[in-house]
Amino acid sequence: MQTNFSSHPLVNTSDLEAFQHILDKAHSIVVTSHRSPDGDAVGCALAMTSYLRTQGKSVTTILPDPPDEALMWMPGVEDIVYYAEDSRQADELMANADVLFALDYNRFERLGRMSHAARKSPGKWLLVDHHELPDNFQSAQVHAPACSSTAELLYAVIVGLGGADAVDNDMAALLYTGIMTDTGSFRFPGVTPTTHLIVADMIAAGLEHAKVHEHIHGEAPLDRLRLNAFALNERLEVFPEFHTALIHLTAADMGRFDYRPGYTEGLVNQALGIKGIRFAVFAKEGGERVKMSFRSIGSFSARAFAEEHFDGGGHHNAAGGASSESIDVVMAKLRGLLPQIQTQLLAAQ
């Protein structure tokens, strides 16, 4: 089934042996990923579940909460147990698991209210992730912050464990979704020759990549388009002197366009796509907090900014944060911070 891809430069044989050793003794396995699961999280969780089932294991996928509607086509999504909807069943499954997978996250806090059950589980944790500085809860890990996506790592893990034949078209679509969404359709700097070799293998084996793009980008509800158009028309602030663009949406704005989770996915990247812009922030009012997405190009660290000012974190060029202040206060704070980071933004390459 394989053509080009043989082993991943970021995946060690010794880590795979540690995985295999633990999996050999496992019967009841739980596969988890982070809350507000994105394409990488859901794709990895379902792909790993599918692979482990081919190995004769009893496996359940548990996520803290459901993904956006745009991901509801993914093969196997109907079998996921959501902690937010069925915490009793999820608690029981985690309490009885002998092995648990943590995919695409690096600390239990990323599970929200599910973190307590995760901590309590007597099972062994195996981690596959590309976020920096993981906590130390796992018995074994495949961890590579330089990797484009957890899905890219997971493909290497599955092939490395001898599971190349288990990568059927459904599993390839799951993994491709993770790689494609985490790389902004193969344009972010984390994409390497290996990323493309893996995708080449999957397409050679029958993956219909165009269908995945159609599912992700070609089935948008009209309200979503109109909300995004409104945001760009009415709520975009461009500061050429700071190479920065800010977008915010109030709860009232979102209510006007019948906001659903996922509607503003990618909006911050549109702001970043403006000529001359190196730093973009999207802030939205929701519940008791204002949530923010930070994106940067080049050496300016979105993560450092998020960590320092908004209790956030993430990757160098893509981070998130939150504030319990009002949206107006948050926006004023953001505008006020720009002169302080002007030197860094001007020097950013």
> What are the residues binding Mn ion (CB under 5 A)?
40, 104, 150, 182
Which of 127, 327 has the CB closer to Mn ion? Answer: 127
Tell me how far, at minimum, the Cβ of 38 lies from Mn ion, in Å. 7
The two structure tokens encoding residue 256: 């006007």
Instruction: Specify whether the CB–CB gap between 115 and 89 falls below 8 A.
Output: no
Tokens of 222: 């009209």
DSSP track, 217-230:
HS---HHHHHHHHH
* Strand 124-129, strand 236-239: pairing: unpaired
249 has which bridge partners? 284
Phi and psi dihedrals of 16, rounded to 5? -65, -40
Minimum distance between the CB of residue 44 and Mn ion, rounded to whole angstroms?
A: 8
Nearer to Mn ion, 104 or 253 (CB): 104
Q: Using the minimum distance from each CB to Mn ion, give the nearer residue, 47 or 246.
A: 47
**Spatial separation of the C-alpha atoms in residues 104 and 102, rounded to whole Å:** 7
Residue 150 or residue 194: which is nearer to Mn ion going by CB? 150
Angle, CA of 332, 335 and 336, to the nearest 5°:
85
- If you search the block for the tokens 């206060």, which residue do you land on? 329
Residue whose beta carbon is closest to Mn ion: 40
Q: Least distance from C-beta 104 to Mn ion, angstroms? A: 4
Taking the complex as a whole, the smallest distance from the CB of residue 255 to Mn ion amounts, in Å, to 30
Smaller CB separation from Mn ion, 50 or 150: 150
Report in angstroms how near the CB of residue 150 gets to Mn ion at its nearest. Answer: 5
Q: For residue 153, give the nearest of 26, 5, 319 by alpha carbon.
A: 5
Residue 29 or 318 having the CB closest to Mn ion = 318
Q: How far is the CB of 152 from Mn ion (least distance, A)?
A: 9
Structure tokens that stand for 264 in this block: 């503003």
